[in-house]
Amino acid sequence: MKPHRFAFVGTGGRAISFIEPLVTRYREHNTLVAFCDLSPARMAYYNAKLTGAWSPPAVPAYPADRFDDLLRDTKPDTVFVCSKDSTHHHYIIRALRAGCDVITEKPLTIDAEKCRAILDAQRITGGRVRVAFNYRWGPFRTKVKELIADGTIGRVHSVNLEYLLDTHHGADYFRRWHAHADESGTLLVHKSTHHFDLVNWWLDAIPAQVFAYGDLVFYGRKNAEARGDGHLAAYPRYTGEPRAKDDPFRIDLDESEAFRGLYRAGEADSGYLRDRNVFRDDIDIYDQMSLNVRYRTGEVLNYSLIAYSPREGMRVTFNGDRGRIEYSEFIGTHMNRAVSPGDFAVEAKPGAEAEGESIRVFPHFQPGYDVPLPPATGAHGGADDILTHSFFSPDAPNTDPWGRFAGHEQGAASILVGIAARDSIRGQWPVTLTDLVLFAPGKTRLSELT
Ligand SMILES: NC(=O)c1ccc[n+]([C@@H]2O[C@H](COP(=O)([O-])OP(=O)(O)OC[C@H]3O[C@@H](n4cnc5c(N)ncnc54)[C@H](O)[C@@H]3O)[C@@H](O)[C@H]2O)c1
């Protein structure tokens, strides 16, 4: 069998999770053919890994404005998009037009116009688009899916999902491009796309309408000054700043080989500073978001995301007409440190101690019970390994009993909740998703969507 040819767009911190397994564990059946990024230094970092510890040879490195040359010269079968969120559509559409399939990191894209353009390009070209929703592949989240699909609590009518990002991992979004709505779509798209996708998938439902509130109450200069923390806003970035020595929000880009090679070395050629002060002026995303979603099939989701919590994790409760499921995962905190999947580690931070996962079922008129949990180790609760296998292994089945493969339509069903929430916050009215993008007309179940 001819090896499958992959090109990678976006050689930042996340890409290592896929590039390393591709060129090591899965090299027999796959070939890496090229990189594309804004930063030659970041691509050189990955090429040095290839010629060093991984698997030579180095591959051609194309600057962002030469992506079409990459497609023509290296003829990838699949383009793997791992770049900044606001650039995904650009690469997805051009890769599809060149006859490639696409795997894209979440979110599919960040606004309605770009979403329509992706759906149009897919319809015209017929190429396959997969969204790397790794949350679905976490074994304990799959267990929740199994319980709901088996009717353990009857038909589910409502869900409460509270997600907490802490002042370690959560703060990291406020240091870099994620803090700008036009680059990340806000956390309602960048981060919540995982959570909206989980609920869509758990319920096998398609979201219809959203009403939301969102505020910036913790990060940003004004908030720091208002609570007497103005001294934490006194410098533009953390690395090399003596005044930041005792700052709990500090990160040091000189601390690791990966940070130095990817981010310090790439500052000059891309202008990207990865350690900007979380209490600076130009942050225009929310750190506290609450919303309600109504699904086409009538269910309701109550959702909240806080990005300044002392703890990291989520609680989800499902109310069914035969009982209730309470699911929680407090599996500690970690920040993307651009390390190999094998070196992933939960970080020791006060207040973020891991308490583990639990699933409790409370049937009507019967005692509640704990559901035994499947084992899960590794990055993102074991999800990354299983997802990577599904991308790169020739033995990976094409169908999945739990419907974990997500295509462009399922990717759209998730981001549109966050995009609608942004509009709702601005306008203070409920927003209907199909007013933004006319997707999946006549369909009622997520599993009917690609
Ligand atoms: N599923 C997950 O668990 C998970 C975790 C982290 C990141 N991600 C996703 O992975 C992607 C990358 O995130 P990251 O943490 O690696 O960020 P990063 O900032 O470390 O890397 C982003 C890369 O995109 C490049 N880039 C920016 N603009 C570009 C352009 N116009 N063309 C080509 N490249 C461009 C940057 O130079 C950088 O190398 C994002 O879409 C993010 O949402 C997913």
Q: Average of pLDDT values for 244-261?
A: 97
Q: How far apart are CA 101 and CA 115, in angstroms?
A: 17
Average pLDDT, the chain: 95
Binned at pLDDT 50, 70 and 90, residue 55 comes out as confident
Q: State the residue for tokens 């180790």.
A: 377
Q: For atom 21 of ligand 1, which residue has the closest CA?
A: 12
Residue of 388, 390, 405 whose CA lies nearest to 17? 388
> Under CATH, what is the fold of the domain 135-219+283-383+403-448?
Dihydrodipicolinate Reductase; domain 2 (3.30.360)
Has residue 64 got a pLDDT over 90? yes
Task: In the chain, list all ranges with CATH 3.30.360.10.
Answer: 135-219+283-383+403-448
- 3-state secondary structure labels for all residues of the chain: CCCEEEEEECCCCCCHHHHHHHHCCCCCCEEEEEEEECCHHHHHHHHHHHHCCCCCCCCCEEEHHHHHHHHHHHCCCEEEECCCHHHHHHHHHHHHHCCCEEEEECCCCCCHHHHHHHHHHHHHHCCCEEEECHHHHCHHHHHHHHHHHCCCCCCEEEEEEEEEEECCHHHHCCCCHHHCHHHHCCHHHHCHHHHHHHHHHHHCCCEEEEEEEEECCCCCHHHHHHCCCHHHHCCCECCCCHHHCCCCCCCCCCCCHHHHHHHHCCHHHHCCCCCECCCCCCCCCCCEEEEEEEECCCCEEEEEEEEEECCCEEEEEEEECCEEEEEEEECCECCCCCCCHHHCCCECCCCCCCCEEEEEEEECCCCCEECCCCCCCCHHHHHHHHHHHHHHCCCCCCCCCCCCCCEHHHHHHHHHHHHHHHHHHHHCCCEEHHHHCCCCCCCCCHHHCC
Binned at pLDDT 50, 70 and 90, residue 384 comes out as confident
> 315-319, 363-367, 373-377, 389-393: which has the minimum mean pLDDT?
373-377
Task: In the chain, list all ranges with CATH 3.40.50.720.
Answer: 4-133
Token couple for 312: 């990291």
Contacts of 186 (CB under 8 A, 6+ apart): 214, 285, 286, 418, 422
Ligand 1 pocket, residue 85 CB under 6 Å = yes
Ligand 1 pocket, residue 9 CB under 6 Å = yes
Binned at pLDDT 50, 70 and 90, residue 363 comes out as very high
Beta-ladder partners of 80: 8, 103
Q: Give the long-range contacts of residues 237-246, CB within 8 A, separation 24 or more.
A: 237/273, 237/275, 237/276, 237/277, 238/175, 238/275, 238/277, 239/264, 239/275
pTM assigned to the model: 0.96
Q: How far apart are CA 160 and CA 390, in angstroms?
A: 30
Binned at pLDDT 50, 70 and 90, residue 56 comes out as confident
Query: Nearest 5 degrees, angle CA 269-CA 271-CA 272?
Result: 110
Has residue 362 got a pLDDT over 90? yes
Token couple for 289: 């978001």
pLDDT in tens, 75-122: 999 999 999 999 999 999 999 999 999 999 999 999 999 999 999 999
Ligand 1 pocket, residue 12 CB under 6 Å = yes
Ligand 1 pocket, residue 64 CB under 6 Å = yes
Binned at pLDDT 50, 70 and 90, residue 353 comes out as low
pLDDT in tens, 271-314: 999 999 999 999 999 999 999 999 999 999 999 999 999 999 99
Q: What is the pLDDT of residue 222?
A: 98
Tell me the CA–centroid distance for residue 82 and ligand 1, in Å. 5
Q: How far apart are CA 97 and CA 16, in angstroms?
A: 26
Tell me the CA–centroid distance for residue 401 and ligand 1, in Å. 30
Ligand 1 probe mutation, 70, 105, 192, 260, most atoms within 8 A of CB: 105
Has residue 350 got a pLDDT over 70? no
Binned at pLDDT 50, 70 and 90, residue 234 comes out as very high
Select 4-133's CATH number: 3.30.70.380, 3.30.70.360, 3.30.565.10, 3.40.50.720.
Answer: 3.40.50.720
Q: What is the pLDDT of residue 374?
A: 80
Q: Average of pLDDT values for 241-262?
A: 97
The span from the first CA to the last CA of the chain, in angstroms, equals 27
Omega within 30 of 0 (cis) for the link into 107: yes
Q: For atom 41 of ligand 1, which residue has the closest CA?
A: 85
Percent of the chain with pLDDT over 90: 88
pLDDT in tens, 159-202: 999 999 999 999 999 999 999 999 999 999 999 999 999 999 99
Ligand 1 probe mutation, 17, 36, 79, 84, most atoms within 8 A of CB: 84
Q: For atom 3 of ligand 1, which residue has the closest CA?
A: 134
Has residue 378 got a pLDDT over 90? no
Q: For atom 9 of ligand 1, which residue has the closest CA?
A: 105
Tell me the CA–centroid distance for residue 37 and ligand 1, in Å. 10
Tell me the CA–centroid distance for residue 428 and ligand 1, in Å. 31
Q: What is the pLDDT of residue 339?
A: 80
